[in-house]
């Protein structure tokens, strides 16, 4: 008697190829982003990034991708689910942006005068390692209490923080890049909009992200190679025709080819221990690393739930714990950037991807980074070619914040955007003023503008206060959105607790307080004394002004608002329950 053998879960499918290209392109853009930001913001040399940081990225990606691939096989066998798709996993984009711009960049700028160029970027790298380890610890231990944390914190607050980072420092920042280099940026943007907005299916089912990078790279190299011949033909300078493109270097590409070779990951225990000796290096940036770690836990949890809604049920604890282990491996082996379970599992499942795409993605990047091919990719592909992908990620993060929260909580998400808008204005203003001071030593700084009586800058203190030092605006965003969501639901007691937390944190100097030294915003905790002006600012052409603000009025304001909310909560106790989301204004009487 013959029988049919039961179907087996496949090691590889045609859909795995599509899934691999999609996940690979996503992680590739993160790598290009890391190289671009670390070199320009933290001034870390490219050679150090390729030899010390990217091998750490390889370790973190290999650990997670292998686990989630094997986990999919285990779930498929246990549940008889032959269509099980592994959880997508990779580098966390918001953390890359936040850690480089809000931790590593400030450490470099504040240290370069005391430690010199090399000492400053090394200290910035060590600060990034500490932040990554903090995030990894939160992700690992959050696996045991993520559900409780999610119940306590309104979704509008959690997603509001991501929306704030997504629309400003991810989507807007890369939109600026695209329109600064439109010849390279617009064509990839068109591919991305077709693929992800219109869901257009390209010939041979080629991924839109891959086509965006390929065509953007071709445009960049084409304009570089044809600039001089066309300039001679039209009798103009090559720079005129190259405007809007990205100059590529064949020399740099050749050097990258010659530098390929084995690059082993290096354990960074000594560097981490050295950084821990400077307690302030860890403490003053907890307002960035802790919220980003918590958001990573909650975001990964929601993505696991999204996978379950699509028919693939993964155990929450191990999935979150391995995500944390991946981030810890990154920090221990030189990478400053946590990993995460990506959004979009239903999309990978719709492509037909199973487990193979995850395993191959981890192996691919291990080979690329451990054989020194990262430098080759950076020399071959301009970041502008992938800028549209990063911009799309920011757009989706922001859109999800409004779509995945209750409709009534949309105002709470909207209010969370204000601190981020202030932050991007302050960050860019500081950069522009720095550039102006290079040209004109007597140009004003943030500190001098704050002490000016000019009515045109009368609201600058509000921008800086909302931003605060050490990127405290991230915590302010969470508190405002949580307060707003609680009030929309008429949970006055919860709103009072959130407002009281804002009062305490502001009184300690963790929120809103700052000291402006030149164009730098520095921490001003309650236990710290303000600097005595004048302070020397290297390269500024003389002494830099300073201005200290301890945010005592804001702490008092939050405390009074807390008392008001407590009174309302006591008055509402025992009152008839009202439906959440009712009109906030009285009915108009005829």
The per-residue pLDDT for 21 is: 84
What's 516's DSSP letter? E
Distance, in Å, from the CA atom of 40 to the CA atom of 49, rounded to the nearest integer, reads: 12
Say whether the peptide bond before residue 534 is cis (omega within 30 degrees of 0).
yes
Choose among 144, 44, 37: nearest CA to 100.
37
Q: Is 44 helix (H, G, I), strand (E, B) or coil?
A: coil
pLDDT digit string, tens, across residues 441-476: 667 778 888 877 778 888 888 888 988 887 788 889
The model's pLDDT over 513-542, given as tens digits with 9 standing for 90+, comes to: 888 887 778 788 888 777 655 443 443 334
From 373, 388, 359, select the one nearest 33 (Cα to Cα).
Answer: 388
Per the model's pLDDT, the better-predicted residue between 343 and 131 turns out to be 131
pLDDT digits (tens, 9 = 90+) for 534-563: 443 443 334 457 888 888 999 999 999 999
Give the model's pLDDT for residue 503: 95
Chain segment 155-199, per-residue pLDDT in tens? 788 788 878 888 888 888 889 888 888 888 899 999 988 988 888
pLDDT (tens digit per residue) in 251-310: 888 988 888 889 999 999 999 999 998 877 888 788 888 888 887 887 788 788 778 877
Residue 544 phi, psi (nearest 5): -100, 140
Q: Which of 491, 499, 505, 486 is CA-nearest to residue 564?
A: 499
Does this model's pTM top 0.85? My answer is no
Q: Where does residue 539 fall: left (phi above 0), alpha (psi -120 to 50 degrees), or beta otherwise?
A: left
Looking up tokens 């998400």 gives 413
Q: Which two tokens stand for residue 584?
A: 């906030």
């Amino acid at each position: 008697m013959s029988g049919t053998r039961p179907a087996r879960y496949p090691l590889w499918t045609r859909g795995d190829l599509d899934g691999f290209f999609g996940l690979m392109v996503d992680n590739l853009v993160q790598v290009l982003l890391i190289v671009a930001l670390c070199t320009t913001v933290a001034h870390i040399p490219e050679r150090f990034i390729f030899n010390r940081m990217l091998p750490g990225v390889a370790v973190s990606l290999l650990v997670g991708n292998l686990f989630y691939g094997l986990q999919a096989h285990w779930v498929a066998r246990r549940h008889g689910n032959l269509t099980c798709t592994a959880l997508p996993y990779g580098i966390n984009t918001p953390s890359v942006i936040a850690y480089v711009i809000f931790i590593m960049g400030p450490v470099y700028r504040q240290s370069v005068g005391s430690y010199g160029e090399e000492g400053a970027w090394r200290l910035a790298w060590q600060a990034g390692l500490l932040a990554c380890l903090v995030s990894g610890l939160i992700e690992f231990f959050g696996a045991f209490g993520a559900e409780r944390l999610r119940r306590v914190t309104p979704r509008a607050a959690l997603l509001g923080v991501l929306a704030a980072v997504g629309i400003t420092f991810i989507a807007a920042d890369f939109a600026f890049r695209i329109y600064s280099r439109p010849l390279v940026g617009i064509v990839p943007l068109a591919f991305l909009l077709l693929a992800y907005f219109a869901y257009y299916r390209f010939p041979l089912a080629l991924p839109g992200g891959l086509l965006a990078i390929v065509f953007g790279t071709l445009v960049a190299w084409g304009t570089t190679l044809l600039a001089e011949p066309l300039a001679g033909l039209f009798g103009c300078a090559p720079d005129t025709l190259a405007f809007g493109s990205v100059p590529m270097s064949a020399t740099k590409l050749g050097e990258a080819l010659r530098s390929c070779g084995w690059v082993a990951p290096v354990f960074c225990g000594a560097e981490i221990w050295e950084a821990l000796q400077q307690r302030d290096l860890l403490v003053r940036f907890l307002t960035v690393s802790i919220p980003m770690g918590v958001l990573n836990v909650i975001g990964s949890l929601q993505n696991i739930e999204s996978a379950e809604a699509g028919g693939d049920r993964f155990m929450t604890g191990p999935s979150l714990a391995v995500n944390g282990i991946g981030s810890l491996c990154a920090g221990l082996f030189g990478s400053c950037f946590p990993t995460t379970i990506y959004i979009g599992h239903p999309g990978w499942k719709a492509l037909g991807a199973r487990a193979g795409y995850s395993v191959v993605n981890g192996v691919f990047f291990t080979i690329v980074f451990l054989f020194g091919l990262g430098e080759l990719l950076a020399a071959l592909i301009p970041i502008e070619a992938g800028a549209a992908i990063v911009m799309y990620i920011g757009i989706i993060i922001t859109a999800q914040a409004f779509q995945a929260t209750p409709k009534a909580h949309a105002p709470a998400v909207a209010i969370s955007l204000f601190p981020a808008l202030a932050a991007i204005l302050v960050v860019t203003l500081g950069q522009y003023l720095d550039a102006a001071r290079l040209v004109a030593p007597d140009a004003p700084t943030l500190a001098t503008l704050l002490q000016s009586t000019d009515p045109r800058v009368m609201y600058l203190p509000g921008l800086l206060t909302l931003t605060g030092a050490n990127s405290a605006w991230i915590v302010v965003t969470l508190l405002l959105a949580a307060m707003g969501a609680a009030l929309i639901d008429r949970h006055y007691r919860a709103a009072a607790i959130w407002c009281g937390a804002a009062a305490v944190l502001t009184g300690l100097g963790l929120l809103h307080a700052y000291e402006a030294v030149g164009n730098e915003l520095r921490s001003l905790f309650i236990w710290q004394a303000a600097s005595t002006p004048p302070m020397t600012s290297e390269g500024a052409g003389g002494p830099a002004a300073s201005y200290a603000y301890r945010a005592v009025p804001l702490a008092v304001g939050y405390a009074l608002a807390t008392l008001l909310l407590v009174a309302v909560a006591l008055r509402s106790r025992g009152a008839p329950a009202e439906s959440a989301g009712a009109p906030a204004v009285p009915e108009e009487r005829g």
